Structure 1
Amino acid sequence: MYQIILASGSPRRKELLEQIGVKFTVDPSTCKERISDTDPIKVVVDLSFQKACDVARRYENTIIIGSDTIVSKEKQILGKPKNEEDAYRMLKLLQGDTHQVYTGVTVIDKQKGEYQVYSFYSVTDVSFYSMTDEEIYSYINTKEPMDKAGAYGIQGKSAVYIKEIKGDYNTVVGLPVAMLYQTLLNNGINLLA
Structure 2
Amino acid sequence: MIKQFPPIILASKSPRRQELLKLMGFDFQVVLREVDESYPEGLSPSEIAVYISEKKARAFDLMIENEIVITADTIVSLDGNILGKPENEDHAFEMLSELSGKRHDVITGVSLLKDHKLSSFYELTEVFFKEISAEQIRYYINTCQPMDKAGAYGIQEWIGLVAVDRINGSYSNVVGLPTHRLYAELCKLSE
TM-score, normalising length: structure 1 = 0.91
Which residue, out of 82, 99, 103, partners 2:104?
99
Aligned equivalents of 1:92 and 1:6: distance in 2?
33
Aligned pairs for 1:34-183 within 5 A: 34-37=38-41, 38-110=43-115, 115-159=116-160, 160-183=162-185
Look up the match of 2:7: 3
Q: Partner letter of residue 182 of structure 2?
A: L
1:138-172 residue CA offsets vs partner (Å, 9 max, x unmatched): 11112411110000000112121111010000110
User: Which deviates more, 93-102 or 29-38?
Assistant: 29-38
Report the aligned-residue RMSD.
1.3
C-alpha contact (below 8 Å) 2:130/2:163 kept by paired residues: yes
Q: 1:54 to 1:144 in 2, by over 3 A?
A: same
Structure 1 residue 39: Cα displacement: 1.1
Look up the match of 2:29: 25
Aligned equivalents of 2:36 and 2:122: distance in 1?
21
Q: Which runs of 5+ in 1 are unaligned?
A: none
TM-score, normalising length: structure 2 = 0.92
Aligned equivalents of 2:35 and 2:88: distance in 1?
22
Structure 1 residue 54: Cα displacement: 1.4
* Secondary structure in 2 matching 1:45: helix
Aligned equivalents of 1:183 and 1:5: distance in 2?
15
Q: Partner letter of residue 41 of structure 1?
A: S
Percent of matched pairs sharing the same residue: 44
